[in-house]
Chain A
Amino acid sequence: MLTIIDDPAHITLQCHGVWTLPNLAAVAQNLELFKPLKPLRWDISQITELDSAGIALLQLYYRNFENQGVVSELVGTNGTHTKLYSLLYKHPHQDAPPVKIHSWLHNLGREGYENIQGVGKFLAFLGEAFVLLLYTLRYPGKIRYHSIMVHIYTTGITALPIIGISAFLIGVVIAFQSLVQLQKFGADIFIVDTIGISLTRELAPLITAIVVAGRSGSAFTAQIGAMKMTQEIDAMRTMGFDPFIFLVWPRVFALILVMPLLIFFADLIGIFGGMVVAKAQANLSFNEFLYRLKGALAIKHYVIGIVKGPFFAFLIAMASTYRGFQISLNTESIGHYTTVSVVNSIFLVIACDALFSVLLTELKL
């Protein structure tokens, strides 16, 4: 491939054989380490096959050595070499300056600034959504009833199994843990109060919201993102189909309608989970449990749990559709924004729940 002949006057780089991409690694590594101290002679007359990688290698190291101040000459070129060279190196060699890499301080500052801006952008998004909502309310014919139905089905009906299982397990876990403590005082019967209140007021809404955020929120983001990547959203806009009316509000409405129902479902299954454990561990029959529940569970706890539903739904649907619109034209951003959307949704749900707690406590509810 490459023989280095050290003559007194100069060094000859005798190139021979097949100079194509698969065979060049050794030669390139040799030349990478080679430090010529005498004038160089590249003899390429014995190269039998040359491709663009071979030409690039010759050109690169010839140029490098010359830049190091070594006098170089090229001998043994033939017509094919010259033609290939002039095809591949039509333009004089030039380096484009690489894009600047910023310091971490710059990145930190920009990140912070963008996050603050993000809040503003989200508010702008909500604002635009509400303006278009008022507009559609004036023309009820524009409401996408069919689309709402489809989303009710996919976010509601198909979510029942996973929400059922999660709620049942939460009921079981709470019942087990509370019974251990309650039995110490012989207060087994209070398991009913514990289950009834904690589930309907706090746990069922939260669990439901978390499952919905993970399941439907991520789907919303990915769907809208994919539509953005294929320019479907641009196409919709040009045809006068506003994405807020066609994509955002149907999802938001569907989720707002579905969430209280899902929470109700989770209430039932969760309490049932508690009943099963109470029967197995504390010998409390289903009848007794239900009788006690009637007295212990004030209706307000149940209502508060259900009322949280639409609020959680609104936050999840808005955050995830908003993130969907932020997806840019590369595949990685789908993954990124889907993750961000789920994290945001769950955070917003928990923050909203905390707000509810404070408010309701102040209101003595």
Chain B
Amino acid sequence: MSSQPIIQVQDVVTAFGDTIVHDHINCTIHEHEIYALLGGSGSGKSTLLREMILLQRPQSGTITVLGQNIATLSPEEAQNLRQKWGVLFQSGALFSSLTVGQNIELLYREYTDLPANLINELVKLKIDIVGLPAHARYLYPSQLSGGMVKRAALARALALDPKLLFLDEPTSGLDPFSARQFDTLIYQLRDLLGLTVVMVTHDLDTIHHIVDRFALLGEAKVVAEGSLEEVLAINHPLIEYFFQTTVQTSHQKEIHGIQS
């Protein structure tokens, strides 16, 4: 795995009013890796992701994406950068007045000069690889189940073959089998298309199976960063809590206590 940094977060501080969400945090995401942001609810994972994709600005600190400091981009540079990544939002964020097919097609129509035939082929292809049935392209987002929305949103995120993929909780709301399929898909896409994937996830299976490195956010800091082995070697209550090394046993005791 080459280790050129694709995204570098340095000394980032974010606050909403008086609540500090990020207190001088740092992390580095390398090329071709599947990187996860981990942490409890409200620990600022989505916020950090939003800062990386230019939806929000940190109070201070710098974020470098694909070698560019995103705080000092001109509008054209920002526009170019935005075409190099795909984003899957936590709630899908499909355009509700367009069908799934049109949601994907829109990007090709706006950003490429491909003939209609090829656009059609690509739309079918993207819908197929994310595991949606072929007729799903004619459905509106309101006609999809939660898991189908996730898949359709992934198809849209993959439309322009981005080199960088941001996923906010891709497997939440999927059944366990689909979640593993989703993992495999992302893993294979990374290998074959040379993607870099940044994802927010709560899914420990995902962490075990496909994530190369991750950052654990907590108490407004990055508690730990690295591969699973590296992080597990660190001794910190939050890490224990997350990976249930000690908590599980005490929790089981509690349950048994109630039962007896």
Contacts and interface: CB of A to CB of B under 8 A. Distances in A.
Q: What class of interface size applies to chain B in its complex with A?
A: 20 to 34
A98 B139 CA distance: 10
Interface string A18-49: 00111011001100100000000000000000
A56 B134 contact: no
A80 B192 contact: yes
Contacts of B141: 329-330
Contacts of B115: 28-29, 32
Interface string B207-222: 0000000000000000
A29 B122 CA distance: 15
B76 to A, nearest CB: 16
A105 interface: no
Interface string A91-102: 101111111000
Nearest to A99: B138
Interface in B162-198: 188-189, 192-193
Contacts of A4: none
A328 interface: yes
Interface in B220-258: none
B83 to A, nearest CB: 9
A51 interface: yes
Looking at chain B's contact residues, the main secondary structure is helix
A21 B142 contact: no
A88 interface: yes
B18 interface: no
Nearest to A328: B142
A21 B125 contact: no
A87 B118 CA distance: 19
Given A51-B193, A87-B188, A87-B192, A331 B97 contact: yes
Contacts of A88: 125, 128-129
A332 B126 CA distance: 26
B193 to A, nearest CB: 6
Given A21-B112, A87-B129, 7 more contacts: A20-B161, A32-B115, A52-B158, A53-B122, A60-B117, A87-B192, A96-B137
Interface of A: 20-22, 24-25, 28-29, 32, 51-53, 55-57, 59-60, 64, 80, 83-84, 87-91, 93-99, 328-333
